[in-house]
Amino acid sequence: MTDRIPLALVGIGKIARDQHIPSIAGGNDFVVSVAVSRHGKVEGAENFTDFDAFLAARPDIKVVSLCTPPEVRFDMAKAAIAAGRHVLMEKPPATTLGEAEALTKLAEDAGVTLFATWHSRFALGVEPARQWLSDKVIQSISIVWKEDVRRWHPGQDWIWEPGGFGVFDPGINALSILTEIVPGHIMVEKSVIEFPENKKQPIAASIAMRTVDGAPISAEFDWRQEGPQTWDITVQTNAGELRLSKGGSELYIGGVEHASGPDREYAGIYERFAKLIRARQSDTDYQPLRIVADSFLCGERKVVASFED
């Protein structure tokens, strides 16, 4: 076993506690040596409330994992890169493509690793789905991604503010899988985006897209789903139907289960990050973010009833 790499975890909120901390602890590559958060702390780590203070005080910590909301991530990532740190960014990596692309160039110039993560790409069924589709003719794709915001984002007001992404915060997970399993670029044709009259970010979206070869893609995102949650991608091909369910953790081909198992998405992220650092490489695919931006550009805005979360 190689020595664990000391890491600073920034933004100690729900996603850090639910996913990042246990995945790092359960892996062999990193150890949380520093935590940076205005409110949260990590037991056994040195805790800071100010990011710049951390950078100045701990030049020995060369790896930073940013779990903050996206609207504050650019300045932190820029400062970390300038200080020679390797940076992992939670999804979505930035609030705009301009910010994301600027960070890629800054990391390249500084010679550090930048990893724009898409955790759903590490779901168990995604890679075998990509492999199976690689020599098939895709005829159509349907995405249904519906969940209850009150269950998954309790008290997180930032998701309704500018830069918070609204329903595209979970929806971009579906887009990250889509762009992983389908070769070539995905193009948005039109969309209808629903905004509650009391919110600044959308609660639902219907998007019509197509592949480079012209296969139609439909996506339905909704944050008002009660009861069972739905995270499905169905692909019709010349060789039959492929379906990814439960966010990519289950794969069915022709109705027969081909892959299922426990969640290892964030474990996969940190394994990938360690390999990138050791190889002195970066991974900054922003295609899911581009599709979100294009959906707004091609979208019809629809105001719907107020929503109380």
DSSP bridge pairs for 141: 217, 235
Distance between CA 196 and CA 29 in Å, rounded?
Answer: 43
The active-site residue out of 14, 41, 91, 199 is: 91
Q: Long-range pairs for 161-165 at CB < 8 Å and ≥24 separation?
A: 161/71, 161/200, 161/201, 162/71, 162/200, 162/201, 163/69, 163/70, 163/71, 163/95, 164/69, 164/70, 164/71, 164/200, 164/201, 165/70, 165/92, 165/201, 165/292
Distance between CA 240 and CA 216 in Å, rounded?
Answer: 16
Angle, helix 97-110 to helix 73-82, in steps of 10 degrees: 10
Distance between CA 19 and CA 3 in Å, rounded?
Answer: 22
The residue behind tokens 């959308």 is: 202
Residue 91 is a catalytic residue: yes
Please, what is the Cα angle at 288 between 283 and 293, to 5 degrees?
125
Residues 6 or more apart whose CB falls under 8 angstroms from that of 131 comprise: none
Question: What are the C-alpha distances in Å from 237 to residues 68, 140, 181, 212?
Answer: 39, 7, 13, 15
Question: Catalytic residues, which ones?
Answer: 91
